[in-house]
Amino acid sequence: MAGIKRRYKFFLFFVLIVVAVVLMLLEAGNFLVKKDKLFRADAIVLLMGSIPDRVLQTELIYKQGLGRRIILVEESMEGFHDLRKRGSPIVSNTDQCYNALVYLGINEEFINVLPGSARSTIQEALIIKDFIKSNPSVDTLILVSSPSHPRRASMIFSKILKHYEVPVVIYTSPGEKSTFNAARWWKSREDIQYVLTEYVKILSFLFIDQFRI
């Protein structure tokens, strides 16, 4: 009788674990999409990555009067400068974003492109931290990115700006024009890749990268 009870408890525990895992997987996509209620900020930060959805979201926020300026960090592109030296008309991702924003009617005067050839969100955050040091009036940021990225971006910026002299408020705004389906992410090969990649990067940040900053 005692053996039956133990097997029953084990089976019940196993079922609960399976249910918990399934529920976590179902919500895995939604967890990544961190969408804050936005208030007026000193700067809108357009993070590097996919261009159309991020540019359109940045334009929307800016024209709603939620940001005084737009900040882009120069993105590193392998071989870009070599191609330029050889006469190729290739345009960098940063320049594409800048040109698109200007074309959409945003005055160049309110777009800041920060040099640095960033290769990651961490490097972007470090470059923006230096910018804030030189511009102490900037203490509120809106991070614009693709839907699967804001959760990690928020973690990174919060960590890097946590001990800054003046508290920096950070909001996140995922691109509304993205095709990413957070609620049904397992139905698309691209969405599966986005979700799995983001969780690997989040774990890497939590257990490794944040201690190197």
Task: Give me the CATH number covering residue 87.
Answer: 3.40.50.620
Torsion of CA 54, 38, 191, 75, to 10 degrees: 40
pLDDT band at 146 (very low <50, low <70, confident <90, very high): very high
Check: CB of residue 144 under 8 Å from CB of residue 62.
Answer: no
In a domain, 84, yes or no: yes
The pLDDT tens digits for 52-108 are 999 999 999 999 999 999 999 998 877 777 777 777 777 889 999 999 999 999 999
Q: Which residue has the tokens 């890749």?
A: 193
**What pTM does this model have?**
0.89
Cα→Cα distances 38→43, 48, 173, Å? 12, 20, 8
- Altogether, the residues listed in the chain come to a count of 213
In a domain, 112, yes or no: yes
Answer left, alpha or beta for residue 65, where phi above 0 means left and psi between -120 and 50 means alpha: left
In a domain, 4, yes or no: no
Check: CB of residue 182 under 8 Å from CB of residue 193.
Answer: no
Tokens of 41: 């900020």
Give me the number of domains the chain comprises: 1
Q: Which residue has the tokens 């392998």?
A: 78
- CA dist 83 and 90 (Å) reads 7
Question: Which pLDDT does position 132 carry in this prediction?
Answer: 94
Please spell the DSSP secondary structure of 14-77, one letter per residue: HHHHHHHHHHHHHHHHHHH---PPP--BSEEEE-SS-SHHHHHHHHHHHHTT-BS-EEEEEEP-
- Residue 79: domain span: 29-211
Mean per-residue pLDDT, 27-47: 96
Please classify residue 29 by burial: count the beta carbons closer than 10 Å to its beta carbon, then call 0-12 exposed, 13-18 middle and 19+ buried. Answer: buried
pLDDT band at 172 (very low <50, low <70, confident <90, very high): very high
In a domain, 6, yes or no: no
Report the half-sphere exposure of 82 (CA within 13 A, side-chain side): 3
In a domain, 150, yes or no: yes
Residue type, 22: V
In a domain, 36, yes or no: yes
